[in-house]
Chain A
Amino acid sequence: MSFGPKRGHIVTIFEHIISDSFLLIAALVYGFVTRNPWFLLDNLPVLLVVLIAPVIRLIGYLCTTLQITDDKIIYRTGWLNKSVSEIPVKSVTTVDLTQNIINQFTGTCSLAIDNAGNMAEDSTQVRMTFGRQEAEEIRSMIKPGSAVADISDGEAVSQFHGVSDINTKPQYRCPAHRLFIMGAIKGKAEFIASFWALFIAGIGVLLNFINVDENSAHMTETWIEKVTEMIMGPGTYLTGYTVLIVEVLMALIVISVVGGGIYAVIKYMDFSLWKQEDALRIRYGFFTKKSYTIPKDRITGFEYKQSLIMRIARVGMLQCIAIGYGSGGNEDTSEESLLFPWISDNEVEDAIEMVLGEDTYPAEKDGLKLIGKEEELETRDPQSKQGSSVDHRPFRPKTSSAYYFLYSMSMVAGIAGLAAAILLYEIKGIDIRWLGILVLLLGIGSCFLQFRNSELAASGGMIQVKSGGFNTVRAYIRETSLESVSELASVFKRRKGITSVTCYYMAPRGTGNVTARNIPIEAYGETKDRLIY
């Protein structure tokens, strides 16, 4: 059975028109808001650059073809720099479909084909847009790791066809209200930093919309002053800067919580996971619908992520660490590795077992025998806690080593924040020393939480490493995927039997590692024993 050579759908030229024309649309809006119709003409040379994008996409469309033969995929692209890629079908690991809002209106799909060759890359090997029916047929023809299927064979279609997967009941589905809560209570540092940058950049435009009413401003200041008097005593005077910073912080928090929730619902709408024999199939999305597969043998581990509020609520998000997935924020070039957007603490290990669906402590993997492990299993004394190289209780930092966590970037940032606030007061007379103290307290709090959260353990064929301050990550790494181990400690720490252990494993972009800080040095020896030699 063969396909092509064939160009993609004509929609390829227009499917990213919103992002391509963003600058033009923003300029039109700005000209309208500021009632300056000449703004666009004054900046026409810059904006003409925007119009180049559709021309580039047209040339790309005309010069790109896909051909599938019995044993390989031939992908031709490029005009000035022509490129021909031949991908053996047996090396293909994923064939995934994505539909943004324009694809949905036009009945087309963006098809992405990956193989192990882009293990260290962020971009997909083949990405083209076809009509939905055609895209489904192509996906049916290519089964990862096998020869090209003849789609005229009804059995092959039912085995591989995406439609039959979607019609079966998924193993996991996340309801919308949980998606909203997850988005609302996720870590906000990145969001607040991005929003603050946008706010500063756009404040000139915003003032055209916002007319500060004297009464409303007075009400806000009175409210803030009342709270301040309650905390710091009557007659406390607030500077204008304090009021402004408090108002902006409050607005940021409200926007990040509500906006985060709404964004999560839209992005992950109808999140569903199907477990197949050798792969996981995931589907989600409202404006941009995504449907992709993760082969189980590419999964090197899992990450369980929790913000501070998530930890209090004992819930989190579970992602897998898989080569070629989740390596960046660009959804156009790399699928996410999220498996469970909402999962409770005590369900994590069950979920991992459900996903892997195998003995998580295999004796053999790809011809690499775990030398000695089978014998150790037979002779292991279940009562023994010392010297057991199969399971051991978690290694955590001792109380006496807690102060080592103060030597961290969080503390440096806290001290720097306080120093900056004092300098501003001394040099410029701007009194925000309370903000400097708050930043220092946050730094100390982060160090304390890092002490509480640092942990390394091994059980069930997995190495578990926990780290983080306000936001924690617990990594579960399959022992068969553990590449190397290192330990790092100063001379003084080493004398006290304390070190930081880093585990290296295969991950997106080829390099992954996770560190448990300031734990007993015995953890290094135990983890070394689990390497496959």
Chain B
Amino acid sequence: MEFQKPDKRAINWWQTKRFLTLIMIVAVVLAIRAILTATGVLDGRAAKIGMWVIVALYFVTIPLMPRIEYKQWGYKILEDQVVIRHGIFWRSETVIPIIRIQNITKDQGPVARMFDLFDVEISIASGAFDICGVTEETADAISQNLKNRLYARIEESEGDSQKAAADLKNDTPATGEDSQDNGEQ
């Protein structure tokens, strides 16, 4: 089964998030530069230029990185597990057994609202993992699909447990009769 992709608008969403992050980085850089200049630690032109180079490099990545990330991003929902793959330079793949899912949440932040996109958060007891950048219809479909598979797995496990318990009961002989039989022998 192939990996499913987020919606194409996720690229614009991530670019917007990066742009907003850039604004915060610029504010922090300006503050640090002001403090270091006032205390006399940083006088050199080289240091000031260096700081702006960092800002410029980050600015360049805004259009580029989300496109690369979109190519790497993928998820697939199998019969018994969810696999999520993402990352740019460092790619990560996570396997989540469906039987371990505790709850499924649909999130939409303020920036995602501009693009009408959602995150589906899959929570297990030891953490949470997101399927990012999907439309509301897709998010609802994923959520329903996972719930159906989870209930099916639980029913299957309970059925197997009951069958195993019944098999065990049928295999185990009654102790009273056995003792008598053994004694006679």
B91 contacts A488, C-beta separation under 8 Å = yes
Q: Is A88 an interface residue (CB 8 A)?
A: no
A504 contacts B124, C-beta separation under 8 Å = yes
Contacts of B124 in A (CB 8 A): 483-484, 504
B126 contacts A533, C-beta separation under 8 Å = no
Interfacial residues of chain A within 146-189, with CB under 8 A of chain B in the complex: none
Contacts of B80 in A (CB 8 A): 533
B126 contacts A486, C-beta separation under 8 Å = no
Interfacial residues of chain A within 470-499, with CB under 8 A of chain B in the complex: 483-491, 494
Most buried by A among B90, B99, B125: B125
Q: Is A368 an interface residue (CB 8 A)?
A: yes
Interfacial residues of chain B within 63-110, with CB under 8 A of chain A in the complex: 80-81, 87, 89-100
A369 contacts B81, C-beta separation under 8 Å = no
Q: Is B158 an interface residue (CB 8 A)?
A: yes
A367 contacts B127, C-beta separation under 8 Å = no
Contacts of B4 in A (CB 8 A): none
Q: Is A58 an interface residue (CB 8 A)?
A: no
Q: Is A5 an interface residue (CB 8 A)?
A: no
B125 contacts A510, C-beta separation under 8 Å = yes
Q: A484-B124, A505-B126 are in contact. Are A491 and B81 (CB under 8 A)?
A: no
Q: Is A135 an interface residue (CB 8 A)?
A: no
Contacts of A489 in B (CB 8 A): 90-91
Contacts of B87 in A (CB 8 A): 488
Contacts of A524 in B (CB 8 A): 93
With both beta carbons as reference points, the residue of chain B lying nearest to A512 in the complex is identified as B126
Q: A364-B161, A367-B161, A369-B160 are in contact. Are A486 and B92 (CB under 8 A)?
A: yes
Interfacial residues of chain A within 328-357, with CB under 8 A of chain B in the complex: none
A483 contacts B126, C-beta separation under 8 Å = yes
B100 contacts A484, C-beta separation under 8 Å = yes
Q: Is B157 an interface residue (CB 8 A)?
A: yes
Interfacial residues of chain B within 20-47, with CB under 8 A of chain A in the complex: 41
A504 contacts B164, C-beta separation under 8 Å = no
Q: A533–B80 Cα gap in the complex (Å)?
A: 6
A488 contacts B127, C-beta separation under 8 Å = no
Out of B89, B94, B98, B164, which one reaches A533, CB within 8 Å? Answer: B98
B95 contacts A484, C-beta separation under 8 Å = yes
A484 contacts B161, C-beta separation under 8 Å = no
Q: A484–B80 Cα gap in the complex (Å)?
A: 12
A510 contacts B92, C-beta separation under 8 Å = no
B96 contacts A533, C-beta separation under 8 Å = no
Q: A84–B7 Cα gap in the complex (Å)?
A: 47
With both beta carbons as reference points, the residue of chain A lying nearest to B161 in the complex is identified as A367
Most buried by B among A119, A483, A489, A512: A483
Q: A511–B124 Cα gap in the complex (Å)?
A: 9
Within the complex, the shortest CB–CB distance from B68 to chain A, in Å, comes to 10
Q: A533–B94 Cα gap in the complex (Å)?
A: 14
Closest 8 CB pairs of A and B: A486-B94, A533-B80, A504-B126, A483-B126, A367-B161, A488-B92, A484-B96, A506-B125
The residues of B with any CB-CB pair to A shorter than 8 Å are: 41, 80-81, 87, 89-100, 124-127, 129, 153, 157-158, 160-161, 164
Q: A369-B161, A484-B94, A510-B126 known; 14 other A-B pairs, CB under 8 Å?
A: A368-B99, A369-B160, A369-B164, A484-B95, A484-B97, A484-B124, A484-B129, A488-B91, A505-B126, A506-B126, A511-B126, A513-B127, A531-B97, A533-B97
22 A-B pairs within 8 Å (CB atoms) are namely A364-B161, A369-B160, A369-B164, A484-B126, A486-B92, A486-B93, A488-B87, A488-B90, A491-B91, A504-B124, A504-B127, A506-B126, A507-B126, A510-B126, A511-B126, A513-B126, A513-B127, A524-B93, A528-B95, A531-B81, A531-B97, A532-B97
